[in-house]
Amino acid sequence: MKKMLRLLLRPFRKPVDIEKSWIETPATLNDMVKFLSWFDRTSSIQETRDRARSDWQNLITAFAYYPQMPKGNCLEIGFGAGRLLVEASKDFQRAIGVDIHGAFDKTRAYIGLNGADNVVLLHRDDLNSLSDSSIDFLFSFIVFQHFESESEVDFYLSQIKRLMTPDGCAHIFFRKNDSPGVKVVPPKDFRKRHSSLFVEPALFRDRVGRDFTILEYQDRMKKHIDKPESSTNESGQARVVFVHQRPAGREEPVKAIAEIG
């Protein structure tokens, strides 16, 4: 019934500026739990901590190359409230986050609650302040799906290429488009916090493969990692792990992973 009502009212709904909604809304949320929940639905600070630990261990760093890669600097693309930066700060000498929202003070407050003192926050427009070849690990978790255009994907892939150290690595999660190509949600259809960019997994993989060597690629994942594999427990996400291009003859085979039976 609610879905039908939304469809009926859609032609009369005011278009939402996608980027502006992500920039401005977090600054209006003064309660810490509400602030955390805007980025990752939660009912408490402790739940946020527990889920961040689980996501970090079971998703973000759960790939074969992670244990051997250098652990100097890492960069999270789209840090939100900072929950994953707290986890990253435990593995790396310095954890850097980049985002566009206007509530960095609230993110710093949450990070402070967790005692992380090696975290740096940067606005997207200040990424060029980071030196070339200075980041060992670059990652993004359920953030690329909130871009308002495909050009933002190209922007961050170019930054990853510039920033990644010779032995560094990147791990990017993105929202799947079940149809060929790319789907961008127009402002008139966009609802706050929802996904706005969907990319065909093979297309995203091939785009990354033009500039990098892919180590792992997965287009079928479990939605709930603590529940059994099934067709009803399939995530809308896909992921790709990649490094700088290897010289001819030294490419490593892509590890394609299928989780859902």
Helix (H) or strand (E) holding 214: strand 212-220
Q: Is residue 57 part of a domain?
A: yes
∠ CA(35), CA(39), CA(41), 5° rounding?
85
Domain count, the chain: 1
pLDDT of 12 reads 47
Q: Is residue 7 part of a domain?
A: no
User: How far is the C-alpha of 231 from the C-alpha of 260, rounded, in Å?
Assistant: 6
Q: Is residue 1 part of a domain?
A: no
Residue 182, domain extent:
14-258
Neighbours of 120 (CB within 10 A): 13
Q: Which residues contact 107 (CB under 8 A, 6 or more apart)?
A: 79, 80, 81, 82, 97, 99, 121
Phi, psi of 138 (to 5 degrees): -120, 130
Instruction: Output the DSSP codes for 27-39.
Output: GG--SHHHHHHHH
Q: Is residue 131 part of a domain?
A: yes
Question: What CATH number corresponds to the domain at position 253?
Answer: 3.40.50.150
Nearest to 173 by CA among 210, 199, 209: 199
Q: Is residue 203 part of a domain?
A: yes
Q: Is residue 8 part of a domain?
A: no
Residues facing residue 94 across a β-bridge: 73
pLDDT of 229 reads 80
pLDDT of 254 reads 62
Task: Kindly give the confidence (pLDDT) of every residue in the chain, 261 residues in length, as a single tens digit, with 9 standing for 90 and above.
Answer: 545 544 444 554 679 999 999 999 999 999 999 999 999 999 999 999 999 999 999 999 999 999 999 999 999 999 999 999 999 999 999 999 999 999 999 999 999 999 999 999 999 999 999 999 999 999 999 999 999 999 999 999 999 999 999 999 999 999 999 999 999 999 999 999 899 999 999 999 999 999 999 999 999 998 888 788 887 889 999 999 999 997 765 556 566 665 443
- In this structure, are residues 127 and 176 in contact, taking their beta carbons and an 8 Å threshold? no
pLDDT of 227 reads 83
Q: Is residue 145 part of a domain?
A: yes
- In this structure, are residues 162 and 105 in contact, taking their beta carbons and an 8 Å threshold? no
Q: Is residue 6 part of a domain?
A: no
pLDDT of 123 reads 98
Cα-based torsion angle of the residue sequence 185, 186, 191, 196 in order, rounded to the nearest 10 degrees: 30
SS3 102: coil
pLDDT of 169 reads 98
Tokens of 114: 């967790």
The CA-based diameter of the chain, rounded to the nearest angstrom, is 58
